[in-house]
Amino acid sequence: MDDVLREWTAAVQADLGVDLEVDRALLLALAGGGPDAVADAARRAGELAARWADEADHSPGAA
Protein backbone atom coordinates (compact mmCIF):
# COMPACT_ATOMS: atom_id res chain seq x y z
CA MET A 1 0.00 0.00 0.00
CA ASP A 2 2.85 2.42 0.77
CA ASP A 3 4.16 2.17 -2.81
CA VAL A 4 0.73 2.93 -4.25
CA LEU A 5 0.25 5.87 -1.91
CA ARG A 6 3.74 7.16 -2.70
CA GLU A 7 3.01 6.96 -6.46
CA TRP A 8 -0.37 8.63 -5.99
CA THR A 9 1.04 11.54 -3.97
CA ALA A 10 3.83 12.01 -6.52
CA ALA A 11 1.26 12.11 -9.34
CA VAL A 12 -0.92 14.62 -7.49
CA GLN A 13 2.09 16.81 -6.73
CA ALA A 14 3.14 16.72 -10.39
CA ASP A 15 -0.40 17.48 -11.61
CA LEU A 16 -0.74 20.40 -9.20
CA GLY A 17 2.81 21.63 -9.74
CA VAL A 18 3.69 21.56 -6.06
CA ASP A 19 6.80 20.28 -4.35
CA LEU A 20 6.24 19.61 -0.69
CA GLU A 21 6.73 16.87 1.85
CA VAL A 22 3.68 14.64 2.38
CA ASP A 23 3.10 12.93 5.70
CA ARG A 24 1.58 9.70 4.39
CA ALA A 25 0.80 8.36 7.86
CA LEU A 26 -1.18 11.51 8.63
CA LEU A 27 -2.89 11.37 5.24
CA LEU A 28 -4.00 7.80 5.92
CA ALA A 29 -5.18 8.73 9.41
CA LEU A 30 -7.20 11.64 8.05
CA ALA A 31 -8.68 9.43 5.32
CA GLY A 32 -9.67 6.77 7.83
CA GLY A 33 -6.85 4.45 6.81
CA GLY A 34 -8.80 2.01 4.65
CA PRO A 35 -8.58 1.57 0.89
CA ASP A 36 -12.12 2.89 0.35
CA ALA A 37 -11.34 6.03 2.33
CA VAL A 38 -8.14 6.58 0.37
CA ALA A 39 -10.01 6.07 -2.93
CA ASP A 40 -12.60 8.63 -1.81
CA ALA A 41 -9.85 11.09 -0.86
CA ALA A 42 -8.24 10.55 -4.28
CA ARG A 43 -11.54 11.23 -6.01
CA ARG A 44 -12.01 14.44 -4.03
CA ALA A 45 -8.45 15.54 -4.75
CA GLY A 46 -9.05 14.96 -8.45
CA GLU A 47 -12.20 17.06 -8.35
CA LEU A 48 -10.35 19.82 -6.51
CA ALA A 49 -7.48 19.75 -9.00
CA ALA A 50 -9.95 19.97 -11.89
CA ARG A 51 -11.66 22.99 -10.32
CA TRP A 52 -8.30 24.71 -9.76
CA ALA A 53 -7.31 24.05 -13.36
CA ASP A 54 -10.64 25.41 -14.61
CA GLU A 55 -10.27 28.53 -12.46
CA ALA A 56 -6.71 29.04 -13.71
CA ASP A 57 -7.88 28.70 -17.32
CA HIS A 58 -10.56 31.35 -16.80
CA SER A 59 -8.65 33.79 -14.62
CA PRO A 60 -7.53 37.20 -15.93
CA GLY A 61 -4.11 36.94 -17.51
CA ALA A 62 -4.48 33.23 -18.32
CA ALA A 63 -2.72 32.29 -21.53
- Give residue 62's pLDDT band: very low, low, confident or very high (50, 70, 90): low
CB atoms within 10 A of CB 22: 15
Contact 38, 22 (CB under 8 A): no
Q: What mean pLDDT value characterizes the chain? A: 79
Q: What is the DSSP string of 30-51?
A: HHTSSHHHHHHHHHHHHHHHHH
pTM given for the model: 0.44
Q: What is the pLDDT of residues 17-46, one digit of tens each?
A: 888 787 877 777 777 767 787 788 788 888
The residue type of 37 is A
Half-sphere exposure of 29 (CA within 13 A, CB side): 5
Choose among 17, 9, 3: nearest CA to 52: 17
pLDDT of residue 21: 83
